[in-house]
Amino acid sequence: MYHIPVLLNESVDGLNIKPDGIYADVTMGGAGHTRSILSRLGENGRLYAFDRDPQAYKNAPDDDRFVLLPVDFQFIEKALEQYGVAQLDGILADLGVSSHQFDTPERGFSFRFNATLDMRMDPGLALSAADVLNTYSAAELQKMFSEYGEVPNAKRLSVMITEKRKADKIVTTFGFEQAISDCIPFKDRSKYLAQVYQALRIEVNRELDSLFALLGSAVRLLKKEGRISIISYHSLEDRMVKHFFRSGNMEDKLEKDFYGNILTPWKLITKKAIQPSETEIIANPRARSARLRVAEKK
């Protein structure tokens, strides 16, 4: 299977779908969530799906109510404008990397395989992970690993990368691990490399920039009582979503009215993030870190 949809029923239930509504699945991937939304729409309902990975396009459903937009979801407003769509009844986003991307060695998303360090979800992006490792300054690398991966020895790691690349360019996953071997803790190898790879992937694909843009667009696009379901997989994404839903801004600055009520465009449908059940985690271990938050436009 291309990708096992995570928190499928919970995320789609959260949208409270109207049969004749207009919806957007901004991360189609294997189309699991896409097909679930379509199954709840009537003949007058519409679903617009987004994905920037050409390998996902073969999963697009053949359905007159469905349109695939092959662009990054940060451009959702401009893309929908071309179809005359100014408002939506709901938005679903399943962030992160698909199982297919992780399990395709030549994409370079996983340290399990020896492959070129690519990590681009959209092959047309300018910089690959190898480009980042070979051109960023030590300070830029440190900022990236510290902020996006919360790597404990980010400074030492960054200096080591800049030293090792003087002799040979860092090109492959195994070559990268060999170059930074002195920085990798013996007991926590997998966890450490996962943090390093996460930071690289976020940087290459500008994932937080895309999420920032999507959240801003959601306020303008959603109708009154329209809903947004977002599944995130690491604390940086989840924190952004949590803050934005609670306060209406990324800084989580709480503004209150005369009566002490928080001024936010959102009503929280999930007071706390929904996590996968043990049953789902056993069936799909990659669901373990997933967190779902749902909000409704006031």
Question: If pLDDT is split at 50, 70 and 90, which confidence band does 260 have?
Answer: confident
Between 145 and 106, the higher pLDDT residue: 145
At 288, list the tokens. Answer: 């373990």
Q: Is the pLDDT of residue 176 over 60?
A: yes
Q: What is the pLDDT of residue 286?
A: 86
List the one residue out of 48, 23, 89, 50 whose CA is nearest residue 211. Answer: 50
Mean pLDDT (whole number) for 25-50:
97
- The whole-number pLDDT of residue 258 equals 85
Query: In 3D, which of 69, 101, 90, 99 has the Cα closest to residue 11?
Result: 90
Of 291, 295, 258, whose CA–CA distance to 276 is shortest?
A: 291
The Cα angle at residue 38 between residues 268 and 245, in degrees rounded to 5? 15
Higher-confidence residue of 31 and 254: namely 31
DSSP code string of 135-181: HS-HHHHHHHHHHHH--TTHHHHHHHHHHHHHHS---BHHHHHHHTG
Q: Tell me what pLDDT residue 261 has.
A: 83
Report, as an integer, the average pLDDT of 199-215: 96
pLDDT average, residue stretch 73-86: 97
Residue 253 is predicted with a pLDDT of 87
With a cut of 90, say whether residue 262 has pLDDT above it: no
Model confidence at 83, pLDDT cuts 50, 70, 90, reads very high
CA distances to 21, 47, 78, 249, 285 from 65, in Å: 11, 6, 20, 33, 33
Q: Are strands 88-94 and 222-232 parallel, antiparallel or unpaired?
A: parallel
- What confidence score (pLDDT) does residue 2 get? 63
- On the question of pLDDT at 256 being above 70, the answer is yes
Q: Summarize pLDDT for 108-125 with one digit per residue, the tens.
A: 999 999 999 999 999 999
- The position carrying tokens 């990659």 is 286
Domains of the chain in sequence order: 8-99+207-297 (3.40.50.150), 104-205 (1.10.150.170)
Mean pLDDT of 210-217: 96
User: Residue 103 pLDDT > 90, yes or no?
Assistant: no
Phi first, then psi, for residue 5 (nearest 5°) are: -65, 135
Res. 1: pLDDT tops 70:
no
Rg (CA), the chain: 20
- The segment with the largest mean pLDDT, out of 104-108, 121-125, 210-214, 246-250, is 210-214
Taking only the tens place, the pLDDT of each residue in 122-173 is 999 999 999 999 999 999 999 999 999 999 999 999 999 999 999 999 999 9
What is residue 239's predicted lDDT score, i.e. its pLDDT? 95
CB-based burial, 147-178: b 16+ in 10 Å, e otherwise: ebbebebbeebbbbbbebbeeeebbbbebbbe
